[in-house]
């Protein structure tokens, strides 16, 4: 039906301004295009089949055989990877178990060569005697502390002073960030996250080793803090004091955990490894004690004839001590007496008939090895070889240095040894043997075979 609109005749409108005839033509055109696009599926399949390369039965067998071999290879690779992972896991657990039992001992002492004196690096920066030091787990930095109340961060590679935390004067505790009394001990966590330092003013300071920023103080001891050690793999801190007690702290939570009692004199040294236990030297009560923290018990050992001034774990089952009787002793936790002792380890001094041994002021051990070191005030650090089963100590060589060797530390890899030296003993002020000796010696350990 035609309509007349606006003077023109047109086909009937669909309401959208278009004629029905126009829409019909458009439908036909779209339908025609659609048919061309959706071709016959059988024809498409035929075209695809024509494109495929025909293969003979023999070629098919070869292709399937190659596919089967590839699958076998992949399965074999997966099996080998799994076996390697399991072997590494077993080896790691075995090594850890041997370390825990003290049966893993790297026999490397015979490979060490005495360093040339020119290779001993000297670091200066403190104004008073160096009392303690630690090496960061990555072996890139050394932290040293002194009776001048300061802490210095050193670069191992170049011996450069990186940062200094200045000490404050007595009476400025309220406004000074840092120590205002002699620092006696330091410890660093095995992940390098926390540095702890303890002083004569009963305080423990916690620092960020990277930025040297002060984090917080731990208070609780009633006398000088003389020993600090982090339990390996944790942020549990053990502290020892002249108040005869050991305290346990959770550094993460800035919290006190518990106190252990038993020593009859001021505690002069403390150490620990990964077990939930620590070892201490009891000064003039002449005892070494192993504290089983979880079991709330302690083992007591006797052997020195004088004050036991220093202690270090060799592994979880053995430890080395030194005292003012001039002797060095190696102990096992399974025996109450030393398994080996060297008397007058650093010789003696004085007039004939009145000789006195040089007292041993510091000891160190390269963990899970047969090497220990000791320091005194006879102008040398002595390195020792532990015999089979830690029975016996044989002198290897000495490294010359002047002053009281108050602290010794091996790097974890054993590549170098660091000594903190002063004009007097770290915990005593009444005996000045040297003048203006406030040094740190860094000594590279050479070997005729790679053992690191």
Bridge-based pairing of strands 112-113 and 416-422 is unpaired
Do 149 and 197 form a contact (C-beta atoms < 8 A)? Answer: no
Residue 385 CB partners (closer than 8 Å, separation 6+): 109, 110, 370, 371, 393, 394, 395, 396
- What pLDDT is recorded for position 54? 73
Mean pLDDT value of segment 120-129: 89
Mean pLDDT value of segment 193-197: 98
Query: Which residues partner with 9 through β-bridges?
Result: 4
Do 328 and 311 form a contact (C-beta atoms < 8 A)? Answer: no
Do 154 and 134 form a contact (C-beta atoms < 8 A)? Answer: no
CA distance 78 to 84: 10
% of the chain beyond a pLDDT of 90? 57
pLDDT at 94 over 70: no
pLDDT level of residue 443 (50, 70, 90 thresholds): confident
Q: What is the pTM of this model?
A: 0.76
Mean pLDDT value of segment 403-423: 91
**Average pLDDT in the chain:** 84
Mean pLDDT value of segment 150-168: 94
Q: Which domains are seen in the chain, by residue range?
A: 109-447 (2.130.10.10)
State how far the alpha carbon of 195 is from the alpha carbons of 135, 188, 229, in Å: 10, 4, 10
Closest CA to 368 of 264, 274, 257: 274
pLDDT level of residue 131 (50, 70, 90 thresholds): very high
pLDDT level of residue 343 (50, 70, 90 thresholds): very high
- What pLDDT is recorded for position 213? 97
Residue 166 CB partners (closer than 8 Å, separation 6+): 149, 150, 178
pLDDT level of residue 451 (50, 70, 90 thresholds): very low
pLDDT at 274 over 80: yes
Mean pLDDT value of segment 211-226: 96
DSSP-based three-state secondary structure for 64: helix
Residue 137 CB partners (closer than 8 Å, separation 6+): 188, 190, 191, 192, 412
- What pLDDT is recorded for position 225? 97
Mean pLDDT value of segment 288-304: 95
pLDDT at 42 over 80: no
Per-position b or e across 358-379, b if 16+ CB within 10 A of its CB: bbbbbbbbbbbbbbbbbbbbbb
DSSP 230: E
- What pLDDT is recorded for position 239? 98
- What pLDDT is recorded for position 441? 75
Mean pLDDT value of segment 394-399: 94
- What pLDDT is recorded for position 452? 23
- What pLDDT is recorded for position 337? 94
Residue of 181 and 58 predicted with greater confidence: 181
CA distance 115 to 243: 41
Mean pLDDT value of segment 437-444: 71
Mean pLDDT value of segment 95-108: 62
Mean pLDDT value of segment 267-273: 96
Residue with tokens 């205002």: 180
How many alpha carbons lie under 13 Å from residue 407 in its C-beta half-sphere? 32
pLDDT level of residue 333 (50, 70, 90 thresholds): very high
Residue of 26 and 374 predicted with greater confidence: 374
- What pLDDT is recorded for position 43? 52
Radius of gyration of the chain (CA): 38
Closest CA to 292 of 302, 277, 280: 277
- Phi first, then psi, for residue 7 (nearest 5°) are 85, 5
CA distance 265 to 244: 6
- What pLDDT is recorded for position 428? 62
Residue 264 CB partners (closer than 8 Å, separation 6+): 244, 282, 285, 287
As given in the structure block, the two tokens for residue 225 are: 């803090």
- What pLDDT is recorded for position 436? 53
pLDDT level of residue 91 (50, 70, 90 thresholds): low
């Amino acid at each position: 039906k035609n309509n007349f609109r606006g003077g023109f005749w047109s086909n009937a409108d669909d309401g959208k301004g278009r004629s029905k005839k126009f829409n019909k033509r458009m439908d036909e055109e779209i339908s025609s295009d659609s048919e061309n696009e959706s071709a016959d599926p059988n024809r498409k399949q035929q075209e695809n089949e024509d494109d495929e390369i025909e293969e003979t039965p023999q070629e098919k067998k070869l292709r399937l055989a190659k596919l089967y071999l590839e699958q076998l290879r992949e399965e074999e690779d997966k099996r080998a990877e799994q076996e390697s992972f399991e072997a590494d896991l077993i080896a790691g657990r075995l090594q850890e178990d041997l370390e825990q039992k003290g049966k893993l001992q790297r026999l490397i002492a015979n490979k060490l060569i005495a360093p040339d004196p020119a290779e001993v690096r000297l670091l200066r920066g403190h104004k008073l005697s160096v009392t303690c030091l630690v090496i960061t787990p990555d072996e890139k930095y050394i932290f040293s502390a002194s009776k001048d109340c300061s802490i210095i961060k050193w670069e191992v590679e170049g011996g450069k002073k990186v940062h200094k935390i200045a000490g404050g004067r007595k009476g400025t505790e309220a406004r000074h960030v840092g120590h205002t009394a002699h620092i006696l001990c330091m410890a660093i966590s095995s992940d390098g996250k926390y540095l702890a330092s303890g002083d004569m003013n009963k305080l423990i300071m916690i620092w960020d080793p990277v930025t040297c920023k002060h984090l917080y103080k731990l208070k609780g001891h009633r006398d000088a803090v003389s020993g600090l050690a982090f339990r390996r793999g944790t942020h549990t801190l053990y502290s020892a004091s002249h108040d005869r007690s050991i305290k346990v702290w959770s550094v993460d939570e800035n919290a006190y955990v518990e106190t252990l009692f038993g020593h009859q004199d001021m505690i002069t040294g403390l150490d620990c490894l990964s077990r939930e236990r620590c070892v201490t030297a009891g000064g003039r009560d002449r005892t070494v004690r192993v504290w089983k923290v979880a079991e709330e018990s302690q083992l007591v050992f006797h052997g020195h004839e004088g004050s036991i001034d220093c202690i270090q774990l060799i592994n979880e089952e053995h430890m080395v001590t030194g005292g003012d009787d001039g002797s060095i002793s190696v102990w096992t936790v399974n025996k109450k007496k030393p398994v080996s002792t060297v008397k007058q380890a650093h010789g003696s001094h004085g007039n004939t008939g009145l000789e006195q041994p040089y007292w041993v002021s510091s000891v160190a051990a390269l963990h899970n090895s047969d090497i220990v070191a000791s320091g005194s005030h006879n102008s040398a650090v002595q390195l020792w070889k532990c015999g089979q089963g830690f029975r016996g100590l044989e002198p290897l060589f000495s490294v010359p240095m002047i002053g009281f060797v108050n602290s010794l530390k091996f790097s974890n890899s054993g590549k170098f040894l660091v000594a903190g030296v002063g004009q007097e003993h770290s915990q005593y002020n009444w005996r000045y043997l040297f003048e203006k000796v406030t040094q740190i010696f860094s000594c590279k350990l050479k070997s005729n075979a790679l053992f690191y």
